[in-house]
Structure 1
Amino acid sequence: MHNAKIGVINVSDRAAAGIYEDLPGQAAVAVLREFLRTPFVPVYRVIADEQTEIEAAMVEMVDEEGCCLIVTTGGTGPAPRDVTPEATAAVCEKMLPGFGELMRATSLRYVPTAILSRQTAGIRGKCLIVNLPGRPKSIRECLEAVFPAIPYCIDLVGGPRLEADEETIRAFRPPGA
């Protein structure tokens, strides 16, 4: 069996310019390695806050690399350069707003500014794209909240079967799925 491919896109002008170390993207990979029993190969990019570049990376990861999941970090706030949700919506056939709703609700338990987040998720082909926040602590909190739905979502769109590490986190699948 081939390893699944999971795209990770850290959207950050400063990380792309080498001013900041790419901690958010690394944090996302670490949490996914902890949560997934299924081996996977990360397809990794650090991209400036440019909608066309973010879209191009997502399209390449799905259409050429065959990723079944892409997580983005950063670019989801209200600042003029924050365009990750727009890029996600532009490349997806279906949007899944429940992911953003749950992540905001989760983050609101920690910071009142979570209402400023515009995180979303959507489907392109056989791939789920999920926008995560840009801070490593928030990435873990949000992935813990939405991860239980991710493997079954990927099943439903025809992607590979991803198995959770049940010692760490439980994924939900209906009986018989």
Structure 2
Amino acid sequence: MRWKVAILTASDKGSRGEREDISAQVIRELIEEEMDGHIVQYKIVPDEQQMIKKTLIEMVDQYEADLILTTGGTGFAHRDVTPEATLEVVEKQVPGFAEVMRSASMLKTRRAMLSRAVSGIRGKTLIINLPGSPKGVHENLQAIIDQLPHALSILTGVEGEHKS
């Protein structure tokens, strides 16, 4: 199955064109190469909670993304509000993805414990927060990418919870 994936970057500098969005490029490459995903929407917005929330809802409702991967806004800075926006949008939390990403990142840097990334479900869409750095995006997505097709298959009804 070819999964519909949306990418949302939360970055003040990126939204003003002051920084190249390399993290989104890393996401695109991994999704297309390792998951046969198709990018249906990509957007950069400032670190504004209501704008992030509105864009996530749009990606679910209008683009019918199976998976939304966010990058940026998961740290301790005052304007880092991606997890809060995500929690306002999701109907169910899925803590396992964020837990595995933090755990895998801890093997590389103790700063991984500072990630506030969350993941959850809205309708039939899985939303996962990734860090803002290209290296962090790569490490975190690599830690979970093998389980995404199965999770999406269950969520979208392609298969039951347990494969026969």
TM-score > 0.5, shorter chain as reference: yes
Is 2:164 the partner of 1:157?
no
* TM-score normalised to structure 2 length: 0.92
Task: Specify the SS of the correspondent of 1:157.
Answer: helix
Code of the residue aligned with 2:29 in structure 1: it is A
Inter-partner Cα distance in structure 2 for 1:74 and 1:86: 12
Q: Which amino acid aligns with 2:33?
A: E
Q: Is the 8 A contact 1:29 1:42 kept in 2?
A: no
**Runs (5+) with no aligned partner, structure 1:** 162-172
Partner in structure 2 of residue 95 of structure 1:
93
Q: What is the Cα deviation at residue 5 of structure 1?
A: 2.2
Displacement, 1:75?
0.4
State the TM-score, normalizing by the size of structure 1.
Answer: 0.86
Task: Spell out structure 1 runs of 4+ moving beyond 3 A.
Answer: none
Offset from partner CA, 1:126-160 (integer Å, 9 cap, x none): 10001011111111111111112211211222266
How far, CA to CA, are the matches of 2:158 and 2:57 in structure 1?
18
Match of 1:77 in 2: 75
Count of paired positions:
163
Tell whether the 8 Å contact from 1:127 to 1:159 is kept in structure 2 after alignment: no
1:174 Cα deviation after fit: 4.7
Work out the CA distance in 1 between the residues paired with 2:157 and 2:19: 34
Aligned pairs (5 A) from 1:6-25: 6-25=5-24
5+ residue gaps, structure 2, are none
Q: Which has the higher helix share?
A: 2
CA displacement 1:69-126 (0-9 Å, x = unmatched)? 0000010001110011111110000001111111111111111111110111000011
